[in-house]
Structure 1
Amino acid sequence: MKVIAVPLLLLLVLIPFGAKASSGLAEPQIPLPSVSWPQYPTPDNITDIKEIPKEDQPRGWLLRRLDNLSGGIDTFFVDRFFNEDITDEVGGGSQARFSFFTRREFGDPVDYKFGVSLKLELPHTNKRLNLLLKSEDEDVREGDIFESPENVTYSSALRFIIRESDLWSASIDTGVRWGLPPDPFIRAKARRPFYFDHWNFRITQEMNYYTENGYGSITDFRFDRPFTTHRLLRLETRSEYLLNNDYFNLMYGGGIYHEINHLYAYAVLARATGDNQYGATFDEYELGIRLRRRVFSDWMFAEVHPQYIWTRENHWKPTPVLMFRLQAEFGG
């Protein structure tokens, strides 16, 4: 009886399912849960990089965000407030900057210097040609305020922009450094940005030939770490090489830049310079603060720059230095 009962029970269970299938009734539908994808914030809605959730942000979006953030700082903050040489940048339209500053080193008389940096974008050239004018002799200062503009050495050049994009830029400059005798030169420069997590890395390579100094090269590495759109950490290294000298001049520096508001900004800077003529050695260290303020509209700036300098020549004794600068900027 037990053997017969088991098949009967199986038939009783299977017959209802077979009847439903043969009657043409639809099978029960299992509802699927709806999925709501996260909405990522746009760069305009974020002011602090800490607000970006690292675990669910696409890498491409994060890289674009870092580029926009660091680029915004460079254009409107660091370079606008603290860069005196606009001819170093490729593109950006026509710009001009004029500066006059005094420098007082403890125990020495006051020095004066006048500087100019001009970049003129020539019309009808598809933004490919720039006319450059720049004051040279950065380390030469005058003791007479009226002789300073007259004794400045200038250089002029014509720049052909090979390529200018977000990925890389390249240009060639041909010009003359106006001295006695004149010093014709040619230089080729290429620049490429890279991105590593929250760091913005940029490498610049220049190859040049000056009639007076011969062949040379300049290599720059720059690391930017933006914290917000108003605060930036920057680390820099530079090496300059002249074939005739056969050694490198070296510079290592770093700074924290902070834009307090649209009027005030400051930077805490440190730098070490030296060469590898007799092994890698440093001859000078600098530590200072630059405080700048817009004093008229958006084109006139004033700056005070106290710093300490330690040099091998002065047996590493700290020397206080105080500088004042007035700068006018047009275009850009």
Structure 2
Amino acid sequence: MEIIEITAIEQQKERESTSEDEDWLGGFHGAVSDTFFNTALWFDSFFANDNEEQTNPQSLARIRLGWEPRAADWGEFTQRFRVRLRLPHFENKVDLIFSEDDGQTTGIEDYKNEIPITRDLEDDRFTAALRVINKESDSSFVDTRIGISGGDLFTRARLKLQTDYTKVHAFKMEPSIHYFLGDGFGSRLYLQYAYTPEFDRQLQINYSISGSESYKGARWRHGAYYFKQLDHRSATVASLTVEGERNGERGFIIEEYRLGYRYRVNAIRDWLFFEIEPFLLWEEVRNYDTTPGLALRVEGYFTKQGK
């Protein structure tokens, strides 16, 4: 989780010498950031008039690679990526989104963290979508998107309502509906309560449920998370999640319990993050036997905005 104060990142940039741009790591970051930015510039140019001055777009990409060995499977490798290109010729109300999931977040990112730290209810699949921001304010947000996911055309509309997250108690509700050409109509509801007794710690409790015409019943997940910021570069989160299915062919079932403790640190560069997370799994497919595991992850942020 990226619990990093912006002032700390600015201080880090001041401490970095100009030699950073000359080493291979800085060159790699610059090359990847330029690639995404040039792609955004290319897309945005389609909507510009010939006599109109070029307006620079904004690109943001995050890429995460992980190895998550467990007692039952030592070859578990994971990868996640998400690219967002904002097009200024639509008054910054239109994004192009590319990701290896359906783009639905769990809400964990609200605690100064832009990356969801838990899996969504949907299967991992590549998604490319055009998102339109219909309404945006401090307390409400409405967006619609159309695109392709897992080889299937889809459209989705989402409403997000939330209270002030600077307060001790905060709430969020996200209902959404979608239509997939192959799966038909579906819906999803996400609820979250956040308790923040101090600026450096927070307790979150959430619940999400989704259903679709493509299968009988509904998928659900409960989650509890305790965040703690150790300093301006590191943080931890203890988590407990339970997920399963209800009203399906087997009625109400619990498919998995997961207990984890994650440590995340910003090191080497201000855009580079490392994680280690020991965890325990109790899965229905393994008769709820205790399965220990360890997740090791590295994550990079690649962002650029034209002047």
Deviations 1:27-49 (A, max 9, x none): xxxxxxxxxxxxxxxxxxxxxxx
Report the Cα distance in structure 2 between the residues aligned to 1:247 and 1:201, rounded to whole angstroms.
27
Letter of the structure 1 residue corresponding to residue 71 of structure 2: F
1:117 aligned to 47, 72, 82, which one? Answer: 82
2: distance between equivalents of 1:198 and 1:212? 44
Alignment correspondent of 2:195? 225
Provide closer, same or farther for how the CA distance between residues 75 and 302 of structure 1 changes in structure 2, counting only shifts above 3 A. closer
Q: Which residue of 2 aligns with 1:275?
A: 245
Match of 2:276 among 286, 301, 304: 304
Match of 1:250 in 2: 220
Match of 1:284 among 242, 250, 256: 256
Higher relative contact order (CA 8 A, sep 6+): 2
Q: Distance in 2 between matches of 1:290 and 1:113?
A: 16
1:159 to 131, 143, 155: 131
Tell me the equivalent position of 1:24.
Answer: none
**Offset, 1:163:** 0.4
Q: Which runs of 5+ in 2 are unaligned?
A: 6-57, 104-123
In the alignment, is residue 101 of structure 1 matched against residue 70 of structure 2? no
- In the alignment, the residues of structure 1 paired with residue 164 and residue 294 of structure 2 have an alpha-carbon distance, to the nearest angstrom, of 37
After TM superposition, the score normalised by the length of structure 1 is 0.64
Cα distance in structure 2, aligned partners of 1:137 and 1:214: 16
Q: 2:236 aligns with which of 266, 272, 276?
A: 266
1:286 Cα deviation (Å)?
0.5
Say whether 1:214 aligns with 2:214.
no
> Equivalents in 1 of 2:173, 2:303: separation in Å?
26
Deviation of residue 153 (structure 1)?
4.7
- Judging changes above 3 Å, is the alpha-carbon distance between structure 1 residues 166 and 74 closer, same or farther for their aligned structure 2 residues? farther
Q: What is the aligned-residue RMSD (CA, Å)? A: 2.4
Instruction: Name the count of aligned residue pairs.
Output: 229
Which structure shows the higher strand fraction?
Answer: 2
Instruction: Say whether residues 1:294 and 2:259 are aligned partners.
Output: no
TM-score, normalised with respect to structure 2: 0.69
Q: Deviations over 1:191-244 (max 9, x none)?
A: 001369831000001101112322111100011101111100000100011123
Select 1:240's aligned residue among 207, 210, 231: 210
Shift, 1:107, TM fit: 3.4
1:132 alignment partner, SS class: strand
Mapped to 1, the partners of 2:195 and 2:68 lie a distance apart of 31
Q: Percent identity?
A: 23
- With over 3 angstroms needed to count, the CA separation of the structure-2 counterparts of 1:153 and 1:74, relative to structure 1, is closer
Task: Structure 1: state its 5+ residue gaps.
Answer: 1-72, 78-92, 139-151
SS class of match (1:255): strand
* Alpha-carbon distance in structure 1 between the residues aligned to 2:171 and 2:102: 29
Contact 2:3 2:229 in 1 (8 A): no
**Counterpart residue number, 2:291:** 319
